[in-house]
Structure 1
Amino acid sequence: MNSQYVVVGAGLAGAATAWSLSRRGHEVTLVERTRPAAHDGSSHGSARIFRYPYPDAFYTELVVRAKAGFDELEKVSGRQLITPTGSLDLGGVRDPRRLAAVMEQVGVEHELLSAVEAQERFPHIATDTEVLWHPGAGVIDAEATVNAMVDAAVSHGAQVLSDWPVHRVDATGRGYRLHSDDAHIDAERIVVAAGGWLPTLLEQLPVSDGFRAGLPRFEVSQENAYHFPYRDQSGLWPTFIHKDESIQTYSLPGGRDAEFRGQKLAEYNAGRKMASAADQDGQIDAGNRQRIVEYVKRYLPGLVPEPYAETTCLFTNTPSEDFLIDTTDGITLVSACSGHGAKFAPLIGEFAADAATGTARAPERFTAHAIRAASHA
């Protein structure tokens, strides 16, 4: 089998790249070790936060651009992929006033509330600092988004191969040969968007020692997430991020995964570190669960402090938490870092397609050199 481009990994980043490449008229094959939006990857389920605030206007501006991609995808697919909820940012470390200044600079609707004003408006969430409110936030249905992008790619001629794990990649005279269990594909160029499996797959890629040595370290972790029931089912809950000196949490309506009856809550980037996604065991950290239960008791009077569901999920980050989009000799690596990458999916696909085709460069900040420099600054 031959293909001009092979995209490895059918999560949000890989599906977005396949969609972007195929609608530009390229021949594309998207391969996935199990199925798109795999349950043990970073793009499964129905609940990811879509939000605008970042301390750095660079990312807030990218969110604005990514939202246009989601709007287009919703139009193409006929599906609602982002459910509007609005969002809160609170806590001294989160620094709502600084975030509000960035939102003002970029031109995103927002409101800076005092702790008293926030408590009056959102009595189910205890607040002791200023709070940034922005109504444009919502909840991304990650699995539906992946499937919509895969369908859009197929409509432009892309092929999708499920249950196709990549075991080895060899350089050939005309590009690369990707090997699976009992099959292979010859490709002119490859895009590797393998999420938490990227560290392992890197060992099988024929890239130069210099390029390999220049890559940032990838940190893979098994995170814990919990669903707590609402005391009042008629209340409207936003997404929120709370960061202070003692804990950093994020929360959002649980969506389809949680039967729409509870709030998803997790401690940010606090899970067990692993060499690769292959090391997942799906076991909840009991200490982490207890910290989150105590957090709910203290800060979320609108929730019953007993989780009715819990799960693990996969994060993959670079040291700076910037995305990696870099190319060498026809191989493009894409690591749209878990924990904050979902909201950028359509735009990441555009950047990756630009890099793979050589038509444009991804932002310099997303190169291996820039990430390593940032992590040592």
Structure 2
Amino acid sequence: MVLFPQRIDENIAENDPVRIVSSIVDHLDMSSVNKLYNGMGRCPYHPRMMLKVIIYAYMNNIYSCRRIEQLLLRDIHFIWLAGYEKPDFITINRFRNRLKDEINNIFTQLVLVLADKGFVSLDVEYVDGTKIESKANKYTFVWRKTVERNRARLIEKVKALLAQVDDCIAQDNARQDETLEVTPSLLAEISDKVNASLSDPQLDKEEKKKRRKIAKELKERSGKLGEYDRHLENLGDRNSYSKTDKDATFMHLKEDAMNEGLTKPGYNLQIATENQFITNFALFPNPTDTLTYIPFMESFRERYGHFASTEVADSGYGSEENYEFMELNGTAAYVKYNRFHIEHRPQYVPDP
């Protein structure tokens, strides 16, 4: 009792950030977070207390669950926030994972608190983006052009194989016409029929060997075709993705120490600010800022129920589609296009 005070809050200043975090979280609507818990079983740590600890740790650039666990035993700010509770690092990590789908709602509530206090108006967006690297392996890339080229070659090989299949086996499946859609299931079915035909006693040894080889190749081609189709499904409208992080797209990042122009798996993080407060954020797999602007503005409307009346952004967002979208929604656009400064030079000559 001599070494440790009975009331640790006496050593925490009235204007300390930890008190601000505690006060704000106490006024948040946590009903959606509470629904994530099962009513049965052992009584859990209170989610409001856990959220306070997580937010305050992130404010101090502490992201390790083990480190947070240690601070809950050593730091009076964390001890005061947790009310002397001592969740271990596994519990902290589980809560953080459980909160992933609700963090957007919590962020929106915090911004609305700022708007209610008059710090932001939610009428103007200052938008910029940055690319952040994924934790995926940089050598696990899948490129659309390569997949489409290899798939087209595979289809040609498959059609050549189907031409060798006996007509009596392939008459229902392998008609050589333009409407034939080659699918993995179709190839697997034809392969099974070719294997079934090997029991015909009229076939000689050479013919059986030939058909067995065709059936094996069709089975292999079926698996490879299924793999290419899965790649195209994961790609969607993107040009690349990482096998170990299917949401990440390969793009050029600023962190290129050797200046070799290498692409790495990453995300395009778009951020909107006002009065130095972040009011909106969104992650996109598209490396081009121009194509992310309209969906980013729509995400702002989903959060707050309206578009910002003023948009401010650099020339990376300037395009005819974006200008037209802002004009239709009554938004004043302070957004340059990429040739703005070139066209305003004295020596510039218009060239249609």
TM-score, normalised by the number of residues in structure 1: 0.19
**Larger Cα Rg: Structure 1 or Structure 2?**
2
Tell me: higher relative CO, structure 1 or 2? Use CA pairs within 8 A at least 6 residues apart.
1
Structure whose residues are more often helix by fraction:
2
TM-score, normalised by the number of residues in structure 2: 0.20
Structure whose residues are more often strand by fraction:
1
